[in-house]
Amino acid sequence: MPLPDGLSPDLAPMVEPLACAVRTAERCVVEDGDTAIVLGGGVQGQFLTHLLSRRGCRVTLCDPHADRRERALRFGAVQALAAPRGAEAVARARSATPEGRGADLVVEAVGRPEAWESAVALARKGGHVVFHGGCAPGSTVTFPTHALHYGELQLTGSYHHTPEAVRQALTLLQEGSAPFGELLGPPIALEDVSRVLAAPGPKRPVIPE
């Protein structure tokens, strides 16, 4: 697909991860004004926060890092909280939703079994949970049958993207609908690529010499 005119070469490679978030946002069952919780404030969590806010959701992002929580407010979140690790923290996060009933939508963007379990615990009765973060192969999770059955929760997995999602991602990057540049780290040289890929961190433009 051709790059739109004026799209920065530094931002253009972000089209693939953004397209994954676009597809997940499309699969979320929401209406204007719904309450959404996004677990994880990394690149995908910021993308999802922005996309859901554009759909009219009141998004709360949860992450353990203060800088990511602050960034989420610039990507469209109405509030940002510490990561709900443990039953007490989950209860505090639920209490931040209207009437403390839980969120209409919870999107997991961490990729850890404990975060998947927290996502289900944060959803209201009749709510929708979308698992965007992929856990390591062989991982297992445990969900309470009462909450799933009597609470009539909808659980959905979302992986990868589609050609249409890529087109939408290119348009979003060209429009600058969010401060996407904040997700880029300093440029690196070609010989630094393997080292950078081996550790988690921001997206890094590569400048071959």
CATH class for domain 12-157?
alpha beta
Question: pLDDT, tens digit, for every residue of 123-151?
Answer: 999 999 999 999 999 999 999 999 999 99
Domain ranges of the chain: 12-157
Question: pLDDT, tens digit, for every residue of 72-127?
Answer: 999 999 999 999 999 999 999 999 999 999 999 999 999 999 999 999 999 999 99
Q: Give percent of the chain above pLDDT 90.
A: 95
Residue 89 CA from chain centroid, whole number: 19
**Alpha helix positions (H), the chain:** 15-27, 43-54, 66-74, 87-95, 113-122, 145-150, 163-175, 193-197
Torsional sign, CA 68, 72, 74, 80: negative
